[in-house]
Structure 1
């Protein structure tokens, strides 16, 4: 480890203080002052766009084997990664997204209409973002929609335990999720579900190296598709709602021309990423910035900072719908780029279309306080908004 690690640890600790409510500003400060920094909790954090992109494309030096638990396929390196990735990618192809979009639209519409009927004052994270993310994931997997509250509760509990570094609670939560997934698999085994029954059943019929995926592999995929998606999509919806409430001119432009939505969503989430970062581990000694880092060291890629790097994005903190998206790392880059990006993009587009369709506008509630999320979450914990509808 670099001899300056203790100094860097103090630098990083000051920027990641739990009391710091502006995570984005803290990461911006780190990128400018200490672009590669060490801490006990994260290992070596990398904040600059160029460094993050270089690491993403160098999977030989920076391995994705960061956990002792199997993680299919994002926690794998080549050639194993490619084998499993070929199984995963068809579930997010154009035809599947087109077929799933009407279901996504129904879920979004029902949620928005329900909250309009309750009154025009809503807390957007609890009433819209979280239930939408959980319900849509249940629908995508073919799970009962009644499980959505369980998934929201689980994700919230997991974030809280991670915040407190409570390993005992984290272990119990892992067992709880494993049991939930095993129940879904058992029900399909018992009923001899065919591959076309739903997505979960389809995974149970997938083959790798001439054999069916085993329970551990299927469970890993389903864990990634539940926990990861529910947390990320709910954070993304919150960030989008917050931005459009702060910038009514952007809300008006998107209401007038929905063709702007795909580019606008990616750009808004570039400025405030729904994920803090992603991990790697060094396979050999490396040099990052001024630091010599040994093999076997943890590397943390800070998405929020990298996507706001002024050396790459002019006026980086400003949302520009016509900005060239080629350097946007919202979904990563290289061989591990997020395979679920088409699903996420469709879900967010449809949600905003339905929110726009049922309202004239939305804004913050008078005298209400927006509460930022705290690490490990990004975005917002609470967004009190007022939905204006036609009278």
Structure 2
């Protein structure tokens, strides 16, 4: 009988949740391949994470108990669905979407009060992420509030590892989306000509996508978009408030915003981790990994690995973009990277263009988010 592995750390301890990035930095140095009951085998080094990402035969993405299209699939199945999904994030589609994206960002920036304290997450970041997602997918306004509640429930259930709560949250989302699909079918030719309707016409081989497949695609996009984009916006605004030299540079040189955004989000990760499972016995970082081992890739550590980036906190615009794992790597690199980069660039362009200064709110403590979320759950700022 195999003995249960000894825990090397506790991802849910107060020390870790108090400052996730510092804790992951410490683990990268102390125990870069670490076991815990909660996250199984966690990898903290850039090289180890890249090895897993680039070997999908040994490290499978089929880790979820729910249908996960295409994130939780391996080739050739993954390739079929990826071929369907990628055109929705083409440069041409992004160019068409940019004016609406900019309009949403400008309206929200203009609505921020000036001179006093603003709870930036609630009054800008979350609204921006929700409005953008609904606009991109063609979802109605009345869906925004329940979706925001759903994201919070999903994070809470993931943190506690409560399977019953996770099942309930999954069913809740499915109900929302299947209702939208039923409405589109009932409307027939009168249905809105948007991405959600278009997915109803997509085929795998000689058949149309099933509703469960469409729901899974939209669930992955929604989880990735709403929580992560809101976290990104908060992280970026906080970084500029904390680093006035960088803020001033970006106000004077908005053309470098794309590189600056990727670099800031490398330093302060908006997405903490991803999962894989081993299909054969291997050795990682000198540690024996049995077949069927669940593995957690800690993006927030790998993107700060000193062997690749030197001083991980140094803000530099001349880094090799191929080393930045912000959008992953390998066959599962984020298909929506172009959309995310568009949204973040436009949001920051409008924020910098339509304000004079962004500062931390004096005397008001911010609250860092905890796993599985990143960034801030409360971010008081002063907007001038």
Distance between the aligned counterparts of 1:27 and 1:193, measured in 2?
52
Greater alpha carbon shift after TM alignment, 85-94 vs 188-197: 188-197
What does residue 96 of structure 2 align with? 99
Distance between the aligned counterparts of 1:353 and 1:279, measured in 2?
33
What does residue 111 of structure 1 align with? 108
Alpha-carbon shift at residue 2 of structure 1 (Å): 8.2
* Aligned pair partner of 2:140 in 144, 152, 160: 144
- 1:2-151 equivalence runs, <5 A: 5-6=5-6, 9=7, 11-13=8-10, 16-20=12-16, 21-116=18-113, 120-151=116-147
Alpha-carbon shift at residue 125 of structure 1 (Å): 1.0
What does residue 299 of structure 1 align with? 295
Normalising by the residue count of structure 2, what TM-score does the alignment of the two structures yield? 0.96
* Aligned pair partner of 1:337 in 333, 339, 356: 333
Distance between the aligned counterparts of 2:231 and 2:68, measured in 1?
22
Describe the SS at the equivalent of 1:5.
coil
Cα separation, partners in 2 of 1:18 and 1:178, compared to 1, 3 Å? farther
Q: Where does the alignment leave 5 or more consecutive residues of structure 2 unmatched?
A: none
Q: Deviations over 1:39-83 (max 9, x none)?
A: 111111000000000110000000011013211111110111111
Cα separation, partners in 2 of 1:168 and 1:18, compared to 1, 3 Å? farther
Describe the SS at the equivalent of 2:309.
coil
Q: Where does the alignment leave 5 or more consecutive residues of structure 1 unmatched?
A: none
Cα separation, partners in 2 of 1:187 and 1:30, compared to 1, 3 Å? same
Q: Deviations over 1:171-198 (max 9, x none)?
A: 2221111110011101100001479700
Distance between the aligned counterparts of 1:163 and 1:19, measured in 2?
15
What does residue 265 of structure 2 align with? 269
- 1:223-238 equivalence runs, <5 A: 223-238=219-234
8 Å CA contact 1:2–1:292 kept in 2: the answer is: no
Distance between the aligned counterparts of 1:284 and 1:130, measured in 2?
41
Describe the SS at the equivalent of 2:311.
coil
Distance between the aligned counterparts of 1:280 and 1:189, measured in 2?
36
Cα separation, partners in 2 of 1:269 and 1:81, compared to 1, 3 Å? same
The answer on 1:362 being equivalent to 2:355 is: no
Alpha-carbon shift at residue 255 of structure 1 (Å): 1.0
Greater alpha carbon shift after TM alignment, 156-165 vs 75-84: 156-165
8 Å CA contact 1:141–1:200 kept in 2: the answer is: yes
CA RMSD of aligned residues (A): 1.7
8 Å CA contact 1:5–1:37 kept in 2: the answer is: no
Alpha-carbon shift at residue 19 of structure 1 (Å): 5.0
Distance between the aligned counterparts of 2:33 and 2:307, measured in 1?
16
Describe the SS at the equivalent of 1:115.
coil
Describe the SS at the equivalent of 1:312.
helix
Runs of 4+ in structure 1 deviating by more than 6 angstroms, as ranges, are: 1-4
Alpha-carbon shift at residue 288 of structure 1 (Å): 1.0
Describe the SS at the equivalent of 2:9.
helix
Q: Deviations over 1:214-273 (max 9, x none)?
A: 111101001011122101101111110111111011111111111101000000001111
Distance between the aligned counterparts of 2:45 and 2:177, measured in 1?
38
Normalising by the residue count of structure 1, what TM-score does the alignment of the two structures yield? 0.94
Cα separation, partners in 2 of 1:214 and 1:227, compared to 1, 3 Å? same
Distance between the aligned counterparts of 2:360 and 2:90, measured in 1?
37
Distance between the aligned counterparts of 2:190 and 2:324, measured in 1?
39
What does residue 321 of structure 1 align with? 317
Distance between the aligned counterparts of 1:4 and 1:297, measured in 2?
12
8 Å CA contact 2:269–2:326 kept in 1: the answer is: yes
8 Å CA contact 1:124–1:384 kept in 2: the answer is: yes
Alpha-carbon shift at residue 16 of structure 1 (Å): 4.2
Q: Deviations over 1:325-346 (max 9, x none)?
A: 2211111111110000000000
